[in-house]
Structure 1
Amino acid sequence: QLARDLSDTQRKVADQSATLDNRLRPLEPQKVSLDGKEFQADPEEKRQFDAAMGLIRRGDFNEAVSAFTTFLTRFPASGYSDSVRFWLGNAQYGKRDYKGAIATFKAFVAANPDHPRAAESLLAIANCQIELKDTKSARKTLDDLQKAYPGSEAARAAKERAAGLR
């Protein structure tokens, strides 16, 4: 009888431990891989980033700008921060805040020249300059892009875009 009681107690403790693990797991930091970078993110960080990206995908650029700005305020040292700045620039572009987008993309490239999206950011800057009818600056940005990231997809697009500006 004593052995059976001990066995039952051990099984109950194991079940409670498994239940507790299952309840706590969603609250623990998760390993994230984004834009060639791996880092730990707490679930709220991940949830807010995913929600902001959902706004971008739906084309709700006003709300996306707000969500990304809030994210950077709440999680300034987040592993998501670089990507958030890139997508913030895209959201600003989407809502036709070209000057704001240029500032965001320039700061992003200055801080992250080796980021996988740096070349794309320069192309976005040129697109903003074209929208602002600043073709001289756009030409220079497209030229800088081709020199800095010669093998990139963005450089190929920049070459085509520059040919269309002449």
Structure 2
Amino acid sequence: MTVSDTASYPPGRIPRSLVLEHRIIRRLFAIAPLCALTACATTSPAQSELAELKAEVRAMRETQARLEKRLERVELHASVSQSRAAAPAAAAAKEASAPASPAAPASSGYSTPELAVVKLKPRNEPAPPLPTRVAVVEPAPDDMEMFISPSPEEDAAPAMAAVSDPKEDEAATAVLDAEFEQAVAALRTGNVEGGVTRLRAFAEQNPRHPRADNALYFSGLGQMGLKDHAAAAQSFERLIASYPAGDAVLDGMLRLAECRLRLNQKDDARALYTRILTQFPGTAAATQAEQRLASLSH
């Protein structure tokens, strides 16, 4: 019986003996090439006979491959047929067992309790009162310096600047910047007195200039270089009072504390260092103030 005979059987009804027969045939086909090669090696045939044997082996291999493919198709067809035949039976069994499923929990000794549906309504209660009273704390006098309103003359200055010519303003700004740089250069080149004089005049004549606070700071440094710590303290005090939001205020406070120490006013110096620590924590100036406070305590 050959593989083609399986077509006469209905799907899923191939006899087991036929399957075993097919497997034996596949094994014989697998052994046949080895036997042919062994026979060729032992009898030492001629070259033509060897070629014929090789051709026969190739033909047998091709035949074996075709048979294997056909057998795989037959087995696949049989498995598909079996699965299709088993699907209705499984569905029928599932339907038959479905009505008995609700009674399963009762057999285990447990039953589902009947729960009543309760709707909750939100309470119509007023919200708890929140404390709205806040203690009023008066600001420190030092902090009030930042909120002091400018004088009428200072208020009128921006209005006058608004109606001026932009080109003239740029030219005037360039001239003032050059004057400031020349005054600072005088300090650096050794003309300390001349540089201090020019810087103080610059700050007095141009109080709204962006570098007015820097002019006061550098003039104070020059006065410290001239050992005039009292005048330097006045320059730094003016810087702190007039430009509390300037970029030179922290350095000015440190320098003012140094002047207080030079003038034997340790309590005032200590108060300045404490003020820096309180108002500007985490800054480099606060770190220096902390170190100098520690040195004063020894």
Aligned to 1:71: 202
Residue by residue over 1:37-90, the C-alpha shift from the partner in whole angstroms, topping out at 9 and shown as x without a partner, is: xxxx53321221111111232343212111112323554443322221222222
1:121 and 2:279 equivalent? no
In structure 2, what is the Cα distance between the partners aligned to 1:139 and 1:156? 14
1:42–1:72 Cα change, 3 Å: same
Question: Any residues of structure 2 matched to 1:67-146 within 5 Å, and which?
Answer: 67-146=198-277
In structure 1, what is the Cα distance between the partners aligned to 2:288 and 2:218? 19
- Aligned amino acid, residue 96 of structure 1: K
2:170 to 26, 29, 38: 29
- Aligned amino acid, residue 277 of structure 2: Q
1:66–1:144 Cα change, 3 Å: same
1:60–1:160 Cα change, 3 Å: farther
In structure 1, what is the Cα distance between the partners aligned to 2:211 and 2:200? 12
Q: TM-score scaled to structure 2, two decimals?
A: 0.40
Question: Any residues of structure 2 matched to 1:56-67 within 5 Å, and which?
Answer: 56-67=187-198
Instruction: Check the 8 A contact 1:119/1:152 in 2, yes or no.
Output: no
Aligned to 1:13: none
Residue by residue over 1:2-25, the C-alpha shift from the partner in whole angstroms, topping out at 9 and shown as x without a partner, is: xxxxxxxxxxxxxxxxxxxxxxxx
More off after superposition, 74-83 vs 150-159: 74-83
In structure 2, what is the Cα distance between the partners aligned to 1:115 and 1:77? 12
- Report the alpha carbon displacement of residue 142 of structure 1 after superposing the two structures with TM: 0.9
In structure 2, what is the Cα distance between the partners aligned to 1:59 and 1:139? 32
Q: TM-score scaled to structure 1, two decimals?
A: 0.69
Aligned to 1:148: 279
Residue by residue over 1:98-150, the C-alpha shift from the partner in whole angstroms, topping out at 9 and shown as x without a partner, is: 11111111121122222122111110011101111221211111111111211
How many positions carry a matched residue from both structures?
130
In structure 2, what is the Cα distance between the partners aligned to 1:110 and 1:43? 27
- SS of the aligned residue for 1:42 comes to helix
Instruction: Check the 8 A contact 1:72/1:84 in 2, yes or no.
Output: yes
Gaps of 5+ in 2: 1-167
Larger Rg: 2
In structure 1, what is the Cα distance between the partners aligned to 2:222 and 2:258? 14
In structure 2, what is the Cα distance between the partners aligned to 1:60 and 1:99? 20
